[in-house]
């Protein structure tokens, strides 16, 4: 295979133990092809330190066979490109939260400036046959910028978050420009078929695109192949982690503490898209409507801190803390608290132990591109005595994981009923569902995802 160049907002060092399956999977491919990984260094340079908008120092270093190339951002670029346009406009918009989107021309200008700067820095590092794979909403216009500098390589794009329906997308000022930028790619990958359908309807109605069949769309004098490539996890790696020292320790502590009690778990970044307040309300409804769960069911909710300098994230944190305090105050006993809320990042090596100890996992985002926690939970179960996955129908993962208990997270009573059903599910049914789910996450794991995407890109006509 040709050399692979991955571009993402942030880089993860594939050799670090803390890196997740995605970093490792991309790292494998990069290593095998002597590839290049390009993105922001994570460093923000102040004006006083010489940071200038649209400029950033390039650093390269070698990690095994892989070249890591990063650029710093000055504060103004970081605030407008990353905090502003990416996280205050595109993230809420694409998660159907128009109400939280904060459109302004400075953010958009910063977004364009940083994408242009990335293109300028990347261009000299490219070889003519490189396969370029660009990731996520931070970098949608990057291929268009590269093309304008004469880049003729095959370039693919993968959107990790949902694509909203056309009328919602049309509310974004400058949406025509953004979607047009997707036509600079040869292959555009989405998480779910629902996203592809939204893309198709958008380009049909707003861009007068020609449908050439088999996922090919023609507009703006270019043809793009758009398809769903549902991302997966490294099932074996995660299952193996379950047997590691830290995971076993966590599992045993949980089993000891909750031996007679049933443990429910939630593991999320503290993001408003993840439906955490709705989840706590559903759990509260469970305790209210099915009192046999009082003093017996406990929800451990890990909410790892993220994007804390964006207001909407401070708001969701306060709302969640209020709800957890309320439910614990209303239902807690001297020897039992319904919710254990942990606002910290838990070590990755412990997560599989927590997953395995959880009788039920609540994965109930209001919108999610895919949701990997759902898949990690399945991978960590003991097949002889597996737990039950309660999954939002609005997670991309719901298209694949049909044997989970699917819920509408906005429906508090319906969600509480599903949790009750999960808690009472007989062993045989749990086993049958788990077996099917495990087959599904194995069939389309992270290696399948990267191979399928890259093969599609390699076969695309440049
Ligand atoms: C985006 C899309 C899409 C969570 N808490 C802790 C922790 N995690 C890990 C999980 C999982 C990962 O973070 C989260 O992945 P998700 O898929 O749930 O969500 P996003 O971060 O929103 O990712 C999403 C994904 O991209 C991939 O395409 O699925 O839809 O939004 O691996 O285990 N890890 C550690 N401590 C924590 O406390 N170590």
Task: Give the confidence band of 461 by pLDDT, cuts at 50, 70, 90.
Answer: confident
pLDDT at 13 (0 to 100)? 63
When the pLDDT of each residue in the chain is averaged and rounded to a whole number, the result is 94
Which two three-digit tokens encode residue 132?
């370029």
ipTM exceeding 0.85? yes
Q: Same domain, yes or no, for 8 and 152?
A: yes
For residue 201, report the distance from its CA to the centre of ligand 1, in Å. 29
Determine contact, residues 77/113, Cβ cutoff 8 Å.
yes
Residues with C-beta less than 6 Å from any ligand 1 atom:
20, 160-161, 231, 267, 269, 302, 304, 345-348, 351, 368-373, 376
Q: Is the pLDDT score of 18 beyond 60?
A: no
* Residue range(s) defining the domain that contains residue 252: 235-442
Q: Mean pLDDT across the stretch 63-83?
A: 95
Instruction: Specify whether 161 is located in the same domain as 220.
Output: yes
- Based on the fold, state whether residues 119 and 214 are members of the same structural domain: yes
Whether the CB-CB separation of 314 and 307 falls below 8 Å is answered with no
pLDDT in tens, 319-343: 999 999 999 999 999 999 999 999 9
Q: Report how many domains make up the chain.
A: 2
152 and 277 belong to one structural domain: no
**pLDDT value, residue 15:** 53
Whether residues 292 and 407 fall in one domain: yes
For the entire predicted model, the pTM comes to 0.97
Residues in the chain: 462
Same domain, 272 and 330: yes
**Would you name the residues annotated as active-site residues?**
160, 368
Three-class DSSP category at 315: helix
Report the alpha-carbon distance of residue 425 to residue 290 in Å, rounded.
Answer: 15
CA–CA separation, 275 and 364 (whole Å): 6
> Rounded to whole angstroms, how far apart are CA atoms 25 and 156?
17
Domain with 200 in it: what CATH number? 3.40.50.2000
* 12, 136: one domain: yes
pLDDT in tens, 268-302: 999 999 999 999 999 999 999 999 999 999 999 99
Q: Which atom, in ligand 1's list, is nearest to the CA of 376?
A: 33
pLDDT band at 16 (very low <50, low <70, confident <90, very high): low
pLDDT of res. 17: 47
Judge whether residue 429 has pLDDT over 70.
yes
Cross-strand partners of 426: none
Q: What is the largest CA-CA distance in the chain?
A: 69
Q: Cα–Cα distance between 338 and 351 in angstroms, integer?
A: 20
Do 168 and 192 have their domain in common?
A: yes
Q: Name the residue of 306, 373, 391, 449 to mutate for ligand 1: max ligand atoms within 8 A of Cβ.
A: 373
Contact 352, 248 (CB under 8 A): no
> Which atom of ligand 1 lies at the shortest distance from residue 344's CA?
38
Q: How would DSSP label each residue in 339-360? A: EEEE-SPPPGGGHHHHHHH-SE
Confidence at 413, pLDDT banded by 50, 70, 90:
very high
Average pLDDT over residues 117-135: 97
Helix H or strand E encompassing 216: strand 216-219
Say whether pLDDT at 22 is over 80: no
pLDDT, tens digit (0-9, with 9 covering 90-100), for 29-49:
888 889 999 999 999 999 888
Closest CA to 277 of 234, 329, 327: 327
Please name the residue whose Cα sits nearest to atom 19 of ligand 1.
Answer: 371
Based on the fold, state whether residues 85 and 145 are members of the same structural domain.
Answer: yes
Q: SS in 3 state form for 140-177?
A: CCHHHHHHHCCCCCEEEEECCCCCCCHHHHCCCCCHHH
What's the half-sphere exposure (Cβ side, CA atoms, 13 Å) at 124?
6
In whole angstroms, what is the distance from residue 203 CA to residue 240 CA? 44
Contact call for residues 156 and 132 (beta carbons, < 8 A): yes
| Other residues' Cβ atoms within 10 Å of the Cβ of residue 64 | 11
pLDDT of residue 19: 52
The residue with greater pLDDT, 461 or 433, is 433
Residue of 135, 271, 370 to mutate, ligand 1, most atoms within 8 A of C-beta: 370
**How far is residue 360's CA from residue 15's CA, in Å, rounded to a whole number?**
32
Are 217 and 343 in a shared domain? Answer: no
Residues 226 and 240 in one domain: no
One domain, residues 307 and 450: no
């Amino acid at each position: 295979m040709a050399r692979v160049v991955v571009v993402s907002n942030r880089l993860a060092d594939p050799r670090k133990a803390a890196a997740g399956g995605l970093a490792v999977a991309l790292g494998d491919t990069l290593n095998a092809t002597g590839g290049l990984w390009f993105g922001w260094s994570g460093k923000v340079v102040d004006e006083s330190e010489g940071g200038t908008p649209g400029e950033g120092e390039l650093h390269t270093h070698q990690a095994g066979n892989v070249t890591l190339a990063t650029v710093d951002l000055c504060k103004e670029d970081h605030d407008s490109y990353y905090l502003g346009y990416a996280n205050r406009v595109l993230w809420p918009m694409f998660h159907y939260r128009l109400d939280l989107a904060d459109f302004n021309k400075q953010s958009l200008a910063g977004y364009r400036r940083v994408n242009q700067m990335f293109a300028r820095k990347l261009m000299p590092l490219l070889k003519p046959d490189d396969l370029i794979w660009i990731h996520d909403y931070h970098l949608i216009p990057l291929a268009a910028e590269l093309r304008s500098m004469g880049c003729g390589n095959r370039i693919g794009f993968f959107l990790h978050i949902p694509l909203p329906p056309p009328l919602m997308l049309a509310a974004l000022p400058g949406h025509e420009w953004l979607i047009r930028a997707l036509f600079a790619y040869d292959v555009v990958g989405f998480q779910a078929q629902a996203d592809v359908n939204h893309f198709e309807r958008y380009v049909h109605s707003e861009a007068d695109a020609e449908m050439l069949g088999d996922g090919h769309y023609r507009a703006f004098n270019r043809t793009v192949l758009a398809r769903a490539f549902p991302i997966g996890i490294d099932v074996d790696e995660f299952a193996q982690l379950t047997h590691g020292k830290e995971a076993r320790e966590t599992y045993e502590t949980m089993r000891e503490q909750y031996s007679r009690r049933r443990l429910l778990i939630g593991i999320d970044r503290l993001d408003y898209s993840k439906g955490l307040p709705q989840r706590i309300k559903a759990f509260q409804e469970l305790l209210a409507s099915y009192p046999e769960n009082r003093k017996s069911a406990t929800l451990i909710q890990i909410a790892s801190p993220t994007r804390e300098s964006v207001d909407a994230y401070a708001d969701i944190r306060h709302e969640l803390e209020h709800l957890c305090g309320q439910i614990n105050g209303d239902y807690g006993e001297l020897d039992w608290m319904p919710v254990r809320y942990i606002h910290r990042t838990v070590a990755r090596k412990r997560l599989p132990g927590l997953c395995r100890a959880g009788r039920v996992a609540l994965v109930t985002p209001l919108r999610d591109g895919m949701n990997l926690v759902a898949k990690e939970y399945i991978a960590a179960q003991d097949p002889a005595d597996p737990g039950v996955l309660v999954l939002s129908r609005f997670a991309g993962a719901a298209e694949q994981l049909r044997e989970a208990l699917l819920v509408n997270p906005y429906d508090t009573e319906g969600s509480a009923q599903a949790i009750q059903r999960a808690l009472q599910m007989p062993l045989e049914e749990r086993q049958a569902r788990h077996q099917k789910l495990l087959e599904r996450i194995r069939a389309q794991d992270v290696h399948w995802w990267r191979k399928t995407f890259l093969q599609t890109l390699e076969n695309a006509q440049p």
